[in-house]
Amino acid sequence: MVRRLLITGGSGLLALNWACAMRENWDVVLGTHRHRVSLRGATVLPLDLGDADRLSRQLAELSPDLVVHAAGLTSVDACEADPALARQVNAELARNVAAAAAGRNIRLVHISTDHLFAGTRSGYREDDAPEPLNEYARSKLLGEEWVRQAHPQALVLRTNFFGWGHAGRLSFSDWILQSLRAGREITLFDDVHFSPLLADALAVAAHRLIARPVDGTFNLGGDERISKYDFGVRLARAFDLPESPIQRGSVGAARLQARRPRDMSLDSGRAKALLGTGTGSLEEHFQALRRQEEAGRREELIHAVTE
């Protein structure tokens, strides 16, 4: 029997790509909020994650085998401007989803972030003490804590990903590729480091992890630590685009509303040991992103979400 997968934040960057990665083998349901979604191979279910009782009833009716909680308030500056909203979306809704899934004994993957640390060194591990610098990080950290309390068997994944977005939600890689294709100059920080992976690779690794009897918190980033500037240059090369429009910038000189960690790189050794493999080099992820575009993923996702 085909297993059912419910993904919250169904109009988001991660949910859409996760659905594409799994739709051949799973009955995928995208839980939506304000935006409307239409995606081949997935059904759509409007969810009010703020209504715990109704959510619990909806989960009972739908009876998914796995819930991936990918809804969130992801704009760091929006979270800084409205900490109460950040806490409500990133912590309270996460707790509701976790409680509803736990009540039905449904496995849960909760998507957290690489943004939880001060960023004064590299390769953060799961047991390093978080030191959130901004409201986004504080709300995601609280979300993790409440998810673990409400659903002790949940898998909490700290990560950073890229992939094809929709017209209203360009990803970091979309923005770089679109800019270079339009001949626009862009500035990328060479003093901010991270360890991203392709959204599909994250989904595949997460499904392999959840198939095992494991719970708790796992880092699930890419195999490489890289600066945002070098990420852009290597992405340009992988897509045969000129790298000369990419200028080096410094986060220190940028006037950003919220403080941001300069190093968000994760040590994903714990997950890799269980998986028996790495999560893939950036070159592999970029080539996969390119193959996705050739196969029509970019076009498909651009039109998948409407107001």
State the residues that interact with ligand NAP by CB under 6 A: 9-14, 32-35, 49, 70-74, 89, 93, 111, 113-114, 140, 159-161, 169
Distance CA 57, CA 223 (A): 40
Distance CA 20, CA 8 (A): 14
What tokens does 49 get? 């994650």
- State the first-to-last Cα distance of the chain, in angstroms, to the nearest integer: 34
Strands (E), the chain: 3-7, 26-32, 36-37, 42-46, 66-69, 107-111, 155-158, 161-162, 186-189, 193-194, 197-198, 216-219, 226-227, 246-249, 305-306
Nearer to ligand NAP (CB atom), residue 26 or residue 172: 172
Nearer to ligand NAP (CB atom), residue 113 or residue 279: 113
For the bound state, the minimum distance from the C-beta of residue 291 to ligand NAP, rounded and expressed in Å, comes to 21
Distances (CA, A) of 104 to 57, 67, 210, 257: 10, 11, 17, 41
For the bound state, the minimum distance from the C-beta of residue 23 to ligand NAP, rounded and expressed in Å, comes to 17
**Burial class of residue 56 (count of CB atoms within 10 Å of its CB; 0-12, 13-18, 19+):** middle
Nearer to ligand NAP (CB atom), residue 19 or residue 73: 73
Nearer to ligand NAP (CB atom), residue 33 or residue 193: 33
For the bound state, the minimum distance from the C-beta of residue 65 to ligand NAP, rounded and expressed in Å, comes to 21
The pair phi, psi for residue 55, each rounded to 5°, is: -60, -40
Angle at 89 between CA 86 and CA 92, to 5 degrees: 110
Closest chain position to ligand NAP (CB): 12
For the bound state, the minimum distance from the C-beta of residue 126 to ligand NAP, rounded and expressed in Å, comes to 15
Nearer to ligand NAP (CB atom), residue 216 or residue 242: 216
For the bound state, the minimum distance from the C-beta of residue 75 to ligand NAP, rounded and expressed in Å, comes to 7
Distance CA 136, CA 124 (A): 18
For the bound state, the minimum distance from the C-beta of residue 292 to ligand NAP, rounded and expressed in Å, comes to 16
